[in-house]
Structure 1
Amino acid sequence: MNKRNSVFFLSASLLFMGCSFVNNKGKEVDGTDQDSLVFVSGSYSYQDEEGIKVFTFSQSDAGFAYKSGLKGVPNPSFLSELTSNNIIYSVAEGGGDDSFLYSLKYNPDSMNLTVIDRDRTQGSSPCFVMADEGKGMAFTANYSGGNLSIFNIDSNGNIALQKKIDFSGCGTHPTRQEASHIHSVYFSPDSVHLWANDLGTDRIRVIDVADYLHNDDIVLPDGSGPRHLCFHSSGKYAYVITELSGDVVVLKINDGNKAEIIQTVKADTVGGEGSADIHLSPDERFLYASCRIKSDGIAVFRVSAETGNIERVGYCLTGKHPRNFAITPNGKYILVACRDENAIEIYEVNRETGMPMDTGKRIHTKAPVCVRWIK
């Protein structure tokens, strides 16, 4: 198969890398030595297609197997974590009245998924979902609607829209920032606030969890377009990937709703205006950010444990349109959802350098845009 090389700025070998996955607070969680994993993939697909699929994956040798597929959810472009009751939440990224949040039941014995319930988001183009079963709440970020939807959920997977929060404003980009575009939502490290990335206005909207009122904004550079973020486990730092400017913006968190920019480093150096996903490795020594449109790939950064600052160390070319990626809990592999390759590509990690190397292994599936570990 066609192997892609990594562009490596350190000095040694071009081999493998360091890895992670994210909990509902945006924090990277500890790895595991369990060999056999299960993940679900989301995609852009029609309602009569298997838009959500279940696979097994081996952390020791990158072996994988298709287990099941679910029809009936159109454009399931983002999936939540699995709850303790074996429930997954999926957006249906449609326009207008075709925008939904679905709840799905996962059977760990058969590895099948079934639809439990759905409700309209009342916000167009939901592209991100976060669920917290402890709070009995789920949240969707609605890109075209420019709003955040808040749902009541129960242990059986029933869904009921509680409220939505609309945002206004615009940015400086001539075609992408004509209005608010909410792209993702996370709990702050102290769980007191929600942070919602607003790509359209260059702001992180801060919402009080006690009453779900929008009470503050974290302002980012004009034309940057914040898309996704992840938090350091210390709760002191946040790393934001900006879609339009292609930067990683490092924030020092002074309070749950207060943060200051301490560093800005380029992930996308060719002006693709399509940076997408971001994750820390489990040991938090490295940070990864995917870039699309031009020179598709993943930028790699070394993280300072003392200051939270980052240093760009390399760039790994991938297939076309790496919208989302997930790193195995043991930190050995990274799975990249390359939408326009119709494949999930598998990369192995060099633990010393943080650089990925293409294994040549591909999971062929239509228009994958989300990878989520569920076991």
Structure 2
Amino acid sequence: MKKRNQIVLLSLSLLFMGCTSVNKKEKSAGFSDSDSLVFISGSYSAENEEGIKVFSFSQKDAGYSYKSGVKGIANPSFLSELTARNIIYSVSEGGGDSSFLYSLKYSPDSMRLEVAGRDMTGGASPCFVMADWSRGKAFTANYSGGSLTVFDADGGGNVARRKVLNFRGRGVNPSRQEKPHVHSVYYSPDSSRIWACDLGTDRIRVIRADDFTYTGEEDIVLPDGSGPRHMCFHSGGKYAYVITELSGDVVVLDTEDGGTAEIIQTVKADTAGGEGSADIHLSPDGRFLYASCRLKGDGLAVFRVSAETGKIERTGYCLTGKHPRNFAITPNGRYILVACRDEDAIEIYEVDKDTGMPVDTGKRIPVKAPVCVRWIK
């Protein structure tokens, strides 16, 4: 039986429209009233399906409208942000010779995307892409390949594989950590390093950003069996928050040195033991942190963030549809769009501005097997 509207009770929690909260002392400065946005969705889909879709979205009332779609890319499971030159990058998550990075040109007037270029990743199952148009580079995290690929990427949409960094090692979980599994890639706060979350070896791989060399000496080591998947950074770059897929924790890092980091706190996100925590994002004002958890008790864990220390306190949990993966928060902080793969829908939640708790609006955007949501306007 579905339990999407049931409440997960926390100690001293408040019952509130399908979600929970434990602290209402702090007040938000309020949301902005800017309106029209555009987002793209990525999915698990066949090459002859519209795996990428473009939608308009209103920050005022959560209204949305389908605008266009793109066929010809199998399993476009993760998308980059829009570059300043209206280019988007998409992985094609396949094995071996079917693993690609695609570039797509976006037309703001027609709200349409068209394929501009592609190249093979050289590593199986690319599941994350980061683009840096200012340096003319793009990067993919290749899960099954256990590698990171560096691409030359110009403003016209041309992409060319430049280097593949293959990692070694294993973790303590024999079924999930038999080898490296690189799941995401970011710049360090000072942009001097590239950080790659390696679920298979419980570490964040640290690569020099100037020449893409890797020694392993600067790696950020996380607890055994944790399985780091995604991360996000507090504004100013002093703190980073890592969601670990296997242990279901949020690991808080002090990143004040810019290129390195140390663990200052670990807090449980997945209390159901699903071993499927997926994505993590801060609210635009930095007051709240959200992490998606799958496989058991699917939903979003909610945390309040200390402005002074960067440490977090778990304040609630909001149940969602089945298998929540990636999610996106509107720039004004009012809505959260959750890609629920096994519901074939992107679910829309409105955020309580005092508690940070998501409240189910009941609105659903029909998309087959969605796993990625990105704002592009």
- With normalisation by structure 2, the TM-score equals 0.93
- Cα gap change, 1:153 to 1:32, in 2 (>3 Å): farther
Name the counterpart of 1:25.
none
Residue range with higher mean Cα deviation, 258-267 or 218-227: 258-267
Alignment partner of 1:143 is 2:143: yes
Q: What is the Cα-based RMSD across aligned positions, in Å?
A: 1.6
Alignment partner of 1:288 is 2:302: no
C-alpha distance in 1 between matches for 2:60 and 2:4: 21
Q: Deviations over 1:317-348 (max 9, x none)?
A: 00001011000001100000000000000000
C-alpha distance in 2 between matches for 1:255 and 1:170: 28
Question: Which one-letter code corresponds to 2:138 in the other structure?
Answer: A
C-alpha distance in 2 between matches for 1:42 and 1:319: 17
- Cα gap change, 1:106 to 1:165, in 2 (>3 Å): same
C-alpha distance in 2 between matches for 1:235 and 1:159: 29
CA contact (8 A) 1:148 1:164 kept: yes
The alignment partner of 2:156 has SS state of: coil
- Which stretches of structure 1, 4 residues or more, deviate above 6 A after TM superposition? none
Question: Which one-letter code corresponds to 1:326 in the other structure?
Answer: A
Name the counterpart of 1:156.
156
Count how many residue pairs are aligned between Structure 1 and Structure 2: 362
Question: Which sections of structure 2, spanning at least 5 residues, go unmatched?
Answer: 20-30
The alignment partner of 1:97 has SS state of: helix
CA contact (8 A) 2:7 2:18 kept: no
- Cα gap change, 1:3 to 1:63, in 2 (>3 Å): farther
Residue range with higher mean Cα deviation, 337-346 or 6-15: 6-15
C-alpha distance in 2 between matches for 1:345 and 1:60: 16
After TM superposition, give the deviation of residue 254 of structure 1 in Å. Answer: 4.2
After TM superposition, give the deviation of residue 258 of structure 1 in Å. Answer: 2.1
CA contact (8 A) 2:5 2:18 kept: no
C-alpha distance in 2 between matches for 1:297 and 1:11: 16
C-alpha distance in 2 between matches for 1:13 and 1:37: 32
C-alpha distance in 1 between matches for 2:366 and 2:312: 34
Greater relative CO, 1 or 2 (CA 8 Å, sep 6+): 1
Question: Which one-letter code corresponds to 2:123 in the other structure?
Answer: G
The alignment partner of 1:258 has SS state of: coil
Question: Which sections of structure 1, spanning at least 5 residues, go unmatched?
Answer: 18-30
CA contact (8 A) 1:42 1:51 kept: yes
Alignment partner of 1:134 is 2:99: no
Name the counterpart of 2:249.
247
The alignment partner of 1:214 has SS state of: coil
Aligned pairs for 1:1-375 (under 5 A) are: 4-7=5-8, 9=10, 12=14, 14=16, 33-215=33-215, 216-375=218-377
The alignment partner of 2:122 has SS state of: coil
C-alpha distance in 2 between matches for 1:371 and 1:318: 16
C-alpha distance in 2 between matches for 1:294 and 1:187: 32
CA contact (8 A) 2:191 2:259 kept: no
The alignment partner of 2:61 has SS state of: coil
After TM superposition, give the deviation of residue 8 of structure 1 in Å. Answer: 6.2
After TM superposition, give the deviation of residue 3 of structure 1 in Å. Answer: 6.3
After TM superposition, give the deviation of residue 214 of structure 1 in Å. Answer: 1.4
- With normalisation by structure 1, the TM-score equals 0.94
C-alpha distance in 2 between matches for 1:106 and 1:200: 35
C-alpha distance in 2 between matches for 1:2 and 1:300: 19
C-alpha distance in 2 between matches for 1:323 and 1:4: 19
Name the counterpart of 2:24.
none
- Cα gap change, 1:33 to 1:84, in 2 (>3 Å): farther
Name the counterpart of 1:26.
none
After TM superposition, give the deviation of residue 7 of structure 1 in Å. Answer: 3.7
CA contact (8 A) 2:33 2:60 kept: no
Q: Deviations over 1:157-179 (max 9, x none)?
A: 10011101110000001200000
Question: Which one-letter code corresponds to 1:273 in the other structure?
Answer: E
After TM superposition, give the deviation of residue 110 of structure 1 in Å. Answer: 1.2
